[in-house]
Amino acid sequence: MNTLKILSGGAAQGLADALTPEFKTITGWAIEGEFGAVGIMADRLRAGIPADAVVLTTAVLKALAGQNLIYPTTIRNVGLVETAVAVRSDDPHFEIDSAEALREALLASDAIFVPDTKSSTAGVHVAKILKGLGLADQIAARLCEFPNGATAMRHLAASKASRPIGCTQTTEILNTPGLTLIGPLPHGYELTTMYAAALTATTEHAAIGQAFIDLLTGDDHRALRRKAGFQDS
């Protein structure tokens, strides 16, 4: 079976997986996706890793377009994704509706699961929050950092810590069994990121890649996007 290759931020993994059977039915092609921190996926495209389409933040796609690595005319918005807090499904819920509530939740936790704080969208933001709350040094030993949000959330779900929490994008939380979404970050600390898809400049399968983008962004799958954690732009 022919295979369409995509490089994508982890935020879109659940949605892409959900659409794969329909994509195969329509095109007869499989999808081979590599999902990870947005910065790392962009760097892999820059390094010449073969890909037909990418699903990344609009800011990164703009940079890639300036480097002639994607076709800017093919960019289509997938949706907005909030950065949020999660706990294991059986753990107590709590409020994070203010900066003080968020600070208390972080201080009360004995393990904080986050994506890469240098190359992932949510991880970079978490690092800024910890600095802004004056907690960067105080909770450094409790920070459990992983290459991407999906991996961080899987480790949170399996954690044996007493009071673990996680912070990453909503889509990655909702796509991980064993977790409960507590809610988005409070006002003043929130982060909502637009994700979009585009064809790469090196694709030899533009029509098939466009079929993937059409499925990902089409009106027929708006409910599926919302279920996966994407909000309408």
Rounded to two decimals, the pTM is: 0.89
The pLDDT averaged over each successive group of 10 residues in the chain (233 residues) is: 94 94 96 92 96 97 98 97 97 93 95 93 93 93 94 97 97 96 95 97 97 96 95 86
Q: For the segment 53-69, what is each residue's pLDDT rounded down to a tens digit?
A: 999 999 999 999 999 99
* CATH T-level fold of 82-184: D-Maltodextrin-Binding Protein; domain 2 (3.40.190)
Nearest residue to 125 via CA among 7, 39, 6: 39
* φ, ψ for residue 186, nearest 5 deg: -70, 165
| CA–CA distance, 223 with 44 (Å, rounded to integer) | 31
Nearest residue to 150 via CA among 62, 58, 86: 86
Hey, do 3-79+193-228 and 82-184 end up sharing a CATH topology, with the first three levels equal? yes
**pLDDT at site 183:** 95
| CA–CA distance, 201 with 34 (Å, rounded to integer) | 18
Nearest residue to 75 via CA among 86, 65, 88: 65
Contacts of 205 (CB under 8 A, 6+ apart): 2, 4, 29, 52
Domain ranges for the chain: 3-79+193-228, 82-184
**pLDDT at site 1:** 75
Q: Where are the alpha helices (DSSP H) in the chain?
A: 13-27, 38-46, 58-66, 99-108, 121-132, 149-157, 170-174, 206-217, 222-228
* CATH T-level fold of 3-79+193-228: D-Maltodextrin-Binding Protein; domain 2 (3.40.190)
Task: Pull the structure tokens for residue 6.
Answer: 């995509």
**pLDDT at site 170:** 96
State the DSSP code for 70. B
What residue has token string 């994508």?
8
C-alpha neighbours within 13 Å on the C-beta side of residue 217: 21
**pLDDT at site 16:** 95
Task: Pull the structure tokens for residue 81.
Answer: 């994704």
Contacts of 221 (CB under 8 A, 6+ apart): 19, 215
Helix (H, G, I), strand (E, B) or coil at 219: helix
